[in-house]
Amino acid sequence: PPLAAGCIAGGIEAMAVWPMEYIKTQLQLQSKAKGARLPYTGMISGLSYTVRTTGFLSLYRGLAPTLIGSIPKAGIRFGLNAQIKDRLRDSDGKLTAGKNFVAGLGAGVAEALVIVAPVETVKTKCIELNMPFVKGFGHIVKTE
């Protein structure tokens, strides 16, 4: 169950924070673009502007790669953490603080390498290209 619970939690987390992640990424990309200026400068004005001009659901543009990544990411983190903890327990079933730390560290590193870095790269590129996930992923594969 830690894997399933992690997957569900990851999906809920991604959907809850995505609108802010979307605006943050837009602001980051703006700072890299030469001469391009967004009609907003912060989180609140960005959320307000986006809802006013393109509708509430447009705040979820680009969510697919993050959602696809967040579900297994959290599942890996929770599931692997539980597995590592089980292997590190002593004969009495106890786990020291150090071993608990190692379990969390191992799960976090695996999560970052397997899911986070690739998904974040695709997500940012899709937003920059203003393309939906599948089309953007195809474009990235062809051109990079």
Alpha carbons 106 and 14: distance in angstroms, whole number: 22
Q: What is the pLDDT tens value at each position of the chain, 144 positions in all? A: 788 888 898 899 999 999 999 999 888 887 766 667 788 889 999 999 999 999 999 999 888 877 887 888 888 899 999 999 999 999 999 999 999 999 999 999 999 998 888 878 888 888 888 888 788 889 999 998
Helices (H) and strands (E) in the chain, counts: 6, 0
- Calculate ∠ Cα 22-28-33, nearest 5°: 120
| Cα 107 to Cα 19, 93, 113, distances in angstroms | 27, 20, 10
Strand intervals (E) in 4-46:
none
Of 16, 40, 12, nearest in space to 27 by CA: 40
Q: How many CB atoms lie within 10 A of CB 9?
A: 16
Contacting residues for 128 by C-beta, under 8 A, at least 6 apart: 29
Q: Report yes or no on whether pTM surpasses 0.85.
A: no
